[in-house]
Amino acid sequence: MTEQKIPLTPVPPLRRIYRSDVRAARRRLTGRIRKTPVFHTAVPGPSGPVPVTLKLEYLQHGGTFKVRGSYNALLSERVCPEHVVIASGGNAGIAAALAAAGMGKTCTVVVPESAPHTKVAAMWSHGAEVRWHGTTYAEAYDHACEITAERGALQLHAYDLPAVVAGAGVIELEIEEQVRGRPPILVAVGGGGLIGGIAAAGGRRREIVGVEPEGIPTLNSALAAGKPVDVEISSITADALGASRIGEIALDVARRYGVRSALVTDDVITDARDYLWREFRIVVELAGAVALAAILSGAYVPREGERPVVVLCGANTELPVL
């Protein structure tokens, strides 16, 4: 009996992201997003005050950097369907709903059962249909794929879509105009859309450091293994940084340009958020304070004379938890 070989489905080649993609995204986003401000200050490190520049990206529309990527993805489509679908634990869904509404389209967000009510309410406020499915992002994503096929919709990915990554990278181009020299940039990492875009824009021109909760080390584990690997999710930041593995695009950029990872504990993340409120009356969600936690804890120590840029990336939280 002749053995029948099952044909393998070809794996599409990785679509690499470069500075040129980020520059094109910036042109598309003109008039759609805010150029968020920076704030020069000093924060306490283990050995004394550390000069830093805070990039106040939490002031972006929708309270999240992800709006940049969602708008860029929609604007990149030559013929964009009237309906948009995305799976999200929170901020990506808010961003997709906001961008879809801004372009006169409808949006469905599939969220896991653990999605915070605050973020679901924000999706509703922008007119999105919200569906709960499964207990993990992966289960929600599978259901989003089904809805996309049924409706002939455009499906966005929360962090591993070229246009989404390029849109996030516009933050780096703004920092170039706002801050002298090329200081390091510290960025929180979940699925990697933010750090992938910022590193693609900066290239080898500057150091980019990904800061991750110890309980969700997606970038750290992938850099060690040389490929994306699944990690256990165990962190208070899971609603925003809850991807179980780094995106292919982000890891490619990180390896090309020497991005490195710093790990911080949940306790330090909480301290960093409390510090921002106590000292500056800045309200961010826990994920928004992750990059600053690396400075406060000493997980990242700037070189002599450096003033690193710390991206505060999101503010979708409930005020009573502060």
What domains, with CATH codes, occur in the chain?
19-65+163-321 (3.40.50.1100), 66-160 (3.40.50.1100)
| Helix, coil or strand: residue 236 | coil
Query: What is the spatial distance between Cα 17 and Cα 202, in angstroms, rounded to a whole number?
Result: 12
* pLDDT value at 322 more than 80: no
When pLDDT is averaged across residues 286-291 and rounded to a whole number, the result is 96
Q: Which two tokens stand for residue 54?
A: 């805070």
When pLDDT is averaged across residues 283-294 and rounded to a whole number, the result is 96
* pLDDT value at 53 more than 90: yes
Q: What is the pLDDT of residues 148-197, one digit of tens each?
A: 999 999 999 999 999 999 999 999 999 999 999 999 999 999 999 999 99
Q: Name every residue whose Cβ is closer than 8 Å to that of residue 42 and which is 6 or more positions away in sequence.
A: 49, 50, 51, 52
pLDDT of residue 80: 87
pLDDT of residue 12: 60
Query: What is the spatial distance between Cα 237 and Cα 302, in angstroms, rounded to a whole number?
Result: 25
pLDDT of residue 241: 85
> 22: pLDDT confidence band, cut at 50, 70 and 90?
very high
Q: Which of 36, 52, 26 is nearest to 197 (CA)?
A: 26
* pLDDT value at 2 more than 90: no
pLDDT of residue 137: 82
